[in-house]
Structure 1
Amino acid sequence: MSWKIRVVLLIGFVAWAYRPFRPPPPPRLCGTKGGPPVVGPRIQLRDGRNLSYKEHGVPKEAAKYKVILVHGFSSSKHEASITATDLVEKLGIYFVSFDRPGYGESDPDPKRTIKSLALDIEELGLQLQLGAKFYIIGISMGGQAVWGCLKYIPHRVKGAALLAPVVNYWWPSFPPALATEAYHLQPVQDQWALRVARHAPWLVYWWNTQKWFPGSSVAAGTQNFTAPDLQIIAKMAASGVSHKAYATQQGVHESYHRDMMVGFGHRDLDPMQLEDPFPHGEGSVHLWHGTDDGVVPVSLQRYIAEELPWVQYHELPNAGHLFSCGETAVKDAILSKLLMADKMVH
Structure 2
Amino acid sequence: MFKKIILVFFIGFLAWAYQSVRPPPPKICGSEGGPPITAPRIKLRDGRYLAYKEHGVPKEMAKYKIIFVHGFGCSRHDLATVPSVMTDELGVYFVSFDRPGYGESDPDPKRTLKSIALDIEELADQLKLGSKFYVIGFSMGGLQVWGCLKYIPHRLAGATLIAPVTNYWWPGFPANFYGEVYYEQFPQDQWALRVAHYAPWLTYWWNTQKWFPASSVIGQRPKLSRQDLQIISNLRGEQSDKAYVTQQGEFESLHRDLMVGFGRWEFDPMDLKNPFTDGEEGSVHLWQGDEDGLVSVPLQRYIAAKLPWIHYHELPGAGHLFVLAEGMSDAILKALLLGGKSPIEETTG
Q: TM class, shorter-chain normalised?
A: over 0.9
8 Å contact from structure 1 (residues 57, 83) kept in 2: no
Whether 1:334 aligns to 2:332 is yes
Residue identity over aligned pairs, in percent, reads 63
8 Å contact from structure 1 (residues 137, 163) kept in 2: yes
8 Å contact from structure 2 (residues 80, 138) kept in 1: no
**Paired position in structure 2 for 1:3:** none
**Paired position in structure 2 for 1:158:** 157
- Which residue identity lines up with residue 156 of structure 1 in the other structure? R
Structure 1 residue 13 displacement after superposition: 5.5
8 Å contact from structure 1 (residues 133, 156) kept in 2: yes
8 Å contact from structure 1 (residues 163, 287) kept in 2: yes
CA–CA distance in structure 1, aligned partners of residues 143 and 293 of structure 2: 18
CA–CA distance in structure 2, aligned partners of residues 276 and 218 of structure 1: 33
Alignment of 1:58-69 (within 5 A): 58-69=57-68
CA–CA distance in structure 2, aligned partners of residues 240 and 95 of structure 1: 20
CA–CA distance in structure 1, aligned partners of residues 201 and 14 of structure 2: 18
Whether 1:299 aligns to 2:298 is yes
8 Å contact from structure 1 (residues 20, 203) kept in 2: no
CA–CA distance in structure 2, aligned partners of residues 261 and 242 of structure 1: 23
Name the CA shift for 1:178/1:33 in 2 (closer, same or farther; >3 Å).
same
CA–CA distance in structure 2, aligned partners of residues 33 and 18 of structure 1: 26
8 Å contact from structure 1 (residues 286, 311) kept in 2: yes
Aligned counterpart for 2:269 among listed residues 256, 268, 271: 271
- Which residue identity lines up with residue 336 of structure 2 in the other structure? L
- Which residue identity lines up with residue 190 of structure 1 in the other structure? D
**Paired position in structure 2 for 1:27:** 26
1:245 is paired with a residue whose SS is: helix
8 Å contact from structure 1 (residues 114, 145) kept in 2: yes
Structure 1 residue 153 displacement after superposition: 0.3
Stretches of structure 1 that go unaligned for 5 or more consecutive residues are 1-5
Structure 1 residue 9 displacement after superposition: 8.7
Name the CA shift for 1:241/1:305 in 2 (closer, same or farther; >3 Å).
closer
**Paired position in structure 2 for 1:119:** 118
Aligned counterpart for 1:245 among listed residues 243, 246, 253: 243
Q: How many residues align?
A: 337
CA–CA distance in structure 2, aligned partners of residues 194 and 317 of structure 1: 27
Stretches of structure 2 that go unaligned for 5 or more consecutive residues are 1-5, 341-349
Structure 1 residue 341 displacement after superposition: 4.8
Alignment of 1:71-90 (within 5 A): 71-90=70-89
CA–CA distance in structure 2, aligned partners of residues 281 and 321 of structure 1: 32
Whether 1:261 aligns to 2:234 is no
Structure 1 residue 242 displacement after superposition: 3.0
**Paired position in structure 2 for 1:179:** 178
Structure 1 residue 16 displacement after superposition: 5.4
**Paired position in structure 2 for 1:234:** 233
Structure 1 residue 119 displacement after superposition: 0.2
Whether 1:200 aligns to 2:199 is yes
1:53 is paired with a residue whose SS is: strand
8 Å contact from structure 2 (residues 225, 292) kept in 1: yes
8 Å contact from structure 1 (residues 73, 141) kept in 2: yes
- Which residue identity lines up with residue 244 of structure 1 in the other structure? K
* Residue-by-residue CA offset, 1:280-314 (whole Å, 9 max, x unaligned): 34110000000010000111000000000100000
8 Å contact from structure 1 (residues 76, 103) kept in 2: yes
8 Å contact from structure 2 (residues 188, 214) kept in 1: yes
- Which residue identity lines up with residue 317 of structure 2 in the other structure? N
8 Å contact from structure 1 (residues 114, 269) kept in 2: no
CA–CA distance in structure 2, aligned partners of residues 281 and 179 of structure 1: 37
Structure 1 residue 156 displacement after superposition: 0.4
**Paired position in structure 1 for 2:53:** 54
8 Å contact from structure 2 (residues 195, 203) kept in 1: yes
CA–CA distance in structure 2, aligned partners of residues 31 and 133 of structure 1: 33
Name the CA shift for 1:92/1:183 in 2 (closer, same or farther; >3 Å).
same
Structure 1 residue 7 displacement after superposition: 11
CA–CA distance in structure 2, aligned partners of residues 256 and 269 of structure 1: 22
1:193 is paired with a residue whose SS is: helix
Structure 1 residue 244 displacement after superposition: 1.6
Whether 1:100 aligns to 2:99 is yes
Structure 1 residue 241 displacement after superposition: 4.7
CA–CA distance in structure 2, aligned partners of residues 315 and 298 of structure 1: 9
Structure 1 residue 218 displacement after superposition: 1.1
Name the CA shift for 1:260/1:241 in 2 (closer, same or farther; >3 Å).
closer
Structure 1 residue 81 displacement after superposition: 3.5
8 Å contact from structure 2 (residues 65, 93) kept in 1: yes
- Which residue identity lines up with residue 337 of structure 1 in the other structure? A
CA–CA distance in structure 1, aligned partners of residues 247 and 156 of structure 2: 31
8 Å contact from structure 1 (residues 193, 216) kept in 2: yes
8 Å contact from structure 2 (residues 150, 272) kept in 1: yes
CA–CA distance in structure 2, aligned partners of residues 38 and 8 of structure 1: 45
- Which residue identity lines up with residue 274 of structure 1 in the other structure? L
8 Å contact from structure 2 (residues 132, 155) kept in 1: yes
8 Å contact from structure 1 (residues 70, 145) kept in 2: yes
8 Å contact from structure 1 (residues 179, 300) kept in 2: no
